[in-house]
């Protein structure tokens, strides 16, 4: 019976971890892309991850898009809701 509880707890933890956006990958991509355009404000990685963890569930599609695309695609507006480059 104990094994069943342990297995259930492990599966539950894995399910929860897989549901949210990958804020570490997203913020690393944001920082990487921002470094290519030094004219823009610099992004603090820790602050980005904190903010993403707080509100990332509401923006999962955008976060996934950033992770899956190049900085050039993102700069061209690929991940924007309007299809326009970010301001």
Please report, for the chain, the start and end positions of each structural domain, with discontinuous segments joined by +: 21-87
The predicted pLDDT at position 43 comes to: 84
- Angle (CA) 5-11-17 rounded to 5° is 135
Average pLDDT, the chain: 78
Q: Kindly tell me if the per-residue pLDDT of 61 is higher than 50.
A: yes
Q: Is 71 left (phi over 0), alpha (psi -120 to 50) or beta?
A: alpha
Rounded to an integer, the average pLDDT of 60-71 is 93
Assessment of whether the complete model's pTM goes beyond 0.85? no
The predicted pLDDT at position 47 comes to: 94
The predicted pLDDT at position 20 comes to: 66
């Amino acid at each position: 019976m104990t094994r069943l509880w342990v297995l259930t707890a492990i599966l539950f933890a894995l399910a929860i971890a897989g549901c949210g956006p990958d804020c570490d990958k997203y913020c690393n991509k944001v920082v990487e892309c921002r470094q290519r355009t030094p004219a823009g404000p610099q992004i603090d990685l820790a602050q980005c991850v904190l903010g993403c963890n707080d509100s990332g569930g509401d923006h999962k599609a955008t976060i996934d898009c950033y992770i899956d695309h190049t900085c050039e695609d993102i700069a061209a507006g690929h991940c924007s809701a309007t299809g326009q480059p970010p301001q």
